[in-house]
Amino acid sequence: MDNQAMKERNATRIGRREFISRAGLGAAVLGMAGGLSRRSWGGQPAKRPNILFLMSDQHRWDFLGCMGHSLVQTPNLDRLASQGTLFDTAYCQWPVCVPSRMTIVTGRYPHSHGALGNAYALPQDQQTIAAYLKSFGYQTGAIGKMHFVDEDQHHGFDYRIEKAEYGKETGNESRNSKIRSRDGREWGISSQTEEQTYEHYLADKTLQWLEKNGDNPFCLWCSFVAPHPPFIAPEKLYNLYGGKVKLPSQPPTENPFIKNSRQRWADLTDDDARTVMAAYLARITLVDMNLGRVLAALDRLGLADNTVVSYTADHGDMEWQHKLFGKMVMFDGATRIPLILRYFGRVPKGVVRHEVVEHVDILPTFYDLIGVPVPRSVQGLSLVPLLDGKIEGWPNTAFIEMNNCVIVRTLKYKCNFENGKARELYDMEKDPQEWDNLTGKAGSDKTVAEMAKLLDDWMGRTQPNLRGQVKPYRTGKAAPGRKAGKRGGKTTKAKRDE
C-alpha cells in the first residue's frame, strides 16, 4: 500500500459538518458566504461560472477507457477525465432511476427527499439546483431524461426537452418498452443509424440551446438515456464489439439474496449475454460520441473556460456479474458510478481520487465552485477539499438505500442491512467481486457493529426523528410526512422505468 493509500486508510471518520470545519471551508460551504470562485480579468468582475451537467443512464463505473477497460471506446470521456479529476469510488444513493436522480438535483438522500422509487414524484417542497440558482440569475435547462414522474412539474428548469418531443419531431418510437432490434429481439442491432438515435437528437438540442443562451450564466442538464436498455445499438457501433466480448467469471455458489432477480435472465444463453454486452458497450460509445459533440460546442462558443462540467450516471449495470443484467441490486456493478469533474484553472487535471464519495456530494461541489452559498437543506459535502488535496478527516463513507435495505460502504468494507439486520458483509479490498459474504463468520461481529454505528449516526444527521432505526422507511410507504406522487391534491400515475 502506498503512502497516499495509507493516509486515506488511517483518516479518522468524522461527521460531514465536522469535516467542513476542519477543512477550513467554514461559512462559505455552510451557506454563510459565497463568491469563492468568481474570476476577474483586468479588474472587472466576471460573470458567474456556468454549469454543464452531462449524464447517462445505467453506465457502470468501470466501463470507461480511462478506468482501464480493455474494449470500450470512450475517447471523449477519457479526454474529459484527463482535463479534470476522476473519482473512481463514487456511489449512487439508490440503484434505480428516480430516487438517484432526485438526490442529484436536490443534494439530499432519498429518505429525506421522499422519492422512494420510480413511481414516486419529487415533492414540491424539495428545492432543486435549478430553482435555487435562478435566484442568482442563472438560466436553467434540462434536455433529456430527468424522470420527474409528474412531468408537468419542471422543478425550476425553465427549458425542457423530453422523449415526447423526440417522437413528435422525428417520428421515431420514444418508448423503450416498444423498441426492438431489427430482427425483433430485445437486444442486438438497431435499424436506426447513429444520427437517428435519441442521443444524437439530445446533443442537437443541447447545441442549439448553448448557441442561444451561452452569453448569460446557465445551469444546463444534458441527460442521455443510453446505455440503459433496450440493449440495441446502430450496426456501425455494435460491430465495434460484436464477437469480442468476454463474459465475466462467476461465483462458485449462487448468492441466495438475488434468486428472484436472476429469474428474468434464467433462459439467457452465453451467446445472448455476449450480444447484450456488445450492445451495452456500443451504447456507451454512442453516448460518448454525442457528449463529445457537446464538449466541442463549448470550445467553439468560447464557453469552456468558464463552465464547470460534470459527468455521471444515475446508477450502474451488473453486466452479467452474478449472471445479472440491470440494476435494483446492491452490488457495486449497480451502485458504483462514474464521476468526472472539470473546471479549467480550478479542478486539477489528470487526477484520480480514490476516496469514497456519493451523488449527494455533487450539488455542494457545484455551489462551492461557482461561489454561491450552500443551502442548509443540502446533505452532501463539497468535494472541493479533495480537489485541493485536503484528505485528512474525509468521512470515506457512502450510504445506498433501496426499499428496506441500506448499504454502508467504507474504504474497506461494504455492509448491507435489511430491516435492521446485516445480511451481507464484504471485504472490498480482498473481494471486490462480492463473492464471499462474511456475515456470521469469525471476526465479523465487530465489523458489523461498527458499520451499524455509522448507519445510526447517519440517520441521526439526515433524519433525526428516526435515529436508532436502521431502516429509514418501510416498503411501499413514503418517507415520514410525505405522500409520494402527490401534487396539489392530485395523485400522479405511477410510470414504469423507461
pLDDT of residue 72: 98
Contact 317, 327 (CB under 8 A): yes
Neighbours of 125 (CB within 10 A): 10
Q: What are the strands, taking DSSP E only, across 314-404?
A: 336-337, 339-342, 351-353, 357-358, 398-402
Give the span between the Cα atoms of 339 and 169, in whole angstroms.
32
Which residue positions in the chain have pLDDT lower than 70?
Answer: 1-46, 151, 173-178, 464-498
Burial class (CB in 10 A: 0-12, 13-18, 19+), 259: exposed
- 159 in the Ramachandran plot: left (φ > 0), alpha (ψ -120 to 50) or beta? beta
Calpha distance 296→302 (Å, rounded) = 10
Phi and psi angles of residue 334, each rounded to the nearest 5 degrees, phi first: -95, -25
Give CA–CA dist 232/147, Å, rounded: 21
pLDDT of residue 420: 85
Q: Which of 350, 381, 348 is nearest to 367 (CA)?
A: 381
Secondary structure element (H or E) that encloses residue 450, with its range = helix 444-462
Q: Say if CB 70 and CB 115 are below 8 A apart.
A: no
Which residue(s) pair with 422 in the sheet?
417
d(CA 350, CA 271): 38
Cell numbers representing residue 175 in the block: 418508448
Residue 470 cell numbers, joined: 436502521
Angstrom CA distances, 354 to 7, 162, 497, stand at: 11, 35, 32
Q: Which domains does the chain have, with CATH numbers?
A: 11-36+48-399 (3.40.720.10), 403-477 (no CATH)
The amino acid that residue 165 corresponds to is E
Q: Which of 199, 201, 187, 197 is nearest to 280 (CA)?
A: 187
Return the C-alpha torsion angle 341, 346, 350, 353, nearest 10.
Answer: -60
* Calpha distance 464→455 (Å, rounded): 12
Q: What is the reported pLDDT for 14?
A: 39
Q: What is the pLDDT of residue 40?
A: 38
End-to-end CA separation in angstroms for the chain:
43
pLDDT at 235 (0 to 100): 97
Structure confidence at residue 31 (pLDDT) = 35
